[in-house]
């Protein structure tokens, strides 16, 4: 099963859905060596449908422009 993560950034009031193997996601660890948790948080892992369902309840969450996860069918 392909896993997806959502990064929610509270400071910038936005975020993105990522494939787990995206270089920006790194299975929910991000690309920085350390995360203070002050600006946001990773959610997941989820399957595709659950990731998009949860993202719909968050503010300004879009698909990652790098890994471009597919949206679930309507």
Q: Is residue 73 part of a domain?
A: no
What would the mean pLDDT of 60-71 be, rounded to a whole number? 94
* 3-state class (DSSP) for residue 3: coil
Instruction: Indicate the number of domains in the chain.
Output: 1
What would the mean pLDDT of 61-69 be, rounded to a whole number? 96
Q: Is residue 29 part of a domain?
A: yes
Q: Is residue 20 part of a domain?
A: yes
Question: How many Cα neighbours within 13 Å face the side chain of 33?
Answer: 0
Q: Is residue 68 part of a domain?
A: no
Q: How confident is the model at residue 69 (pLDDT cuts 50, 70, 90)?
A: very high
Q: Is residue 32 part of a domain?
A: yes
Q: Is residue 74 part of a domain?
A: no
Residue 26 dihedral angles phi and psi, to the nearest 5°: 55, 50
Range of the domain at 51: 4-63
pLDDT at 9: 93
pLDDT digits (tens, 9 = 90+) for 8-63: 998 899 999 999 999 999 999 988 766 666 789 999 999 999 999 999 999 999 99
């Amino acid at each position: 099963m392909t896993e997806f993560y959502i990064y929610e950034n509270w400071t910038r009031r936005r975020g993105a859905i990522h494939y787990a193997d995206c270089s920006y996601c790194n299975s929910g660890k991000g690309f920085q060596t350390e995360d203070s948790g002050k600006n946001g948080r990773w959610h997941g892992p989820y399957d595709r449908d659950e990731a998009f369902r949860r993202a719909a309840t968050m503010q300004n969450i879009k698909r990652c422009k790098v890994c471009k996860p597919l949206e679930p069918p309507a």
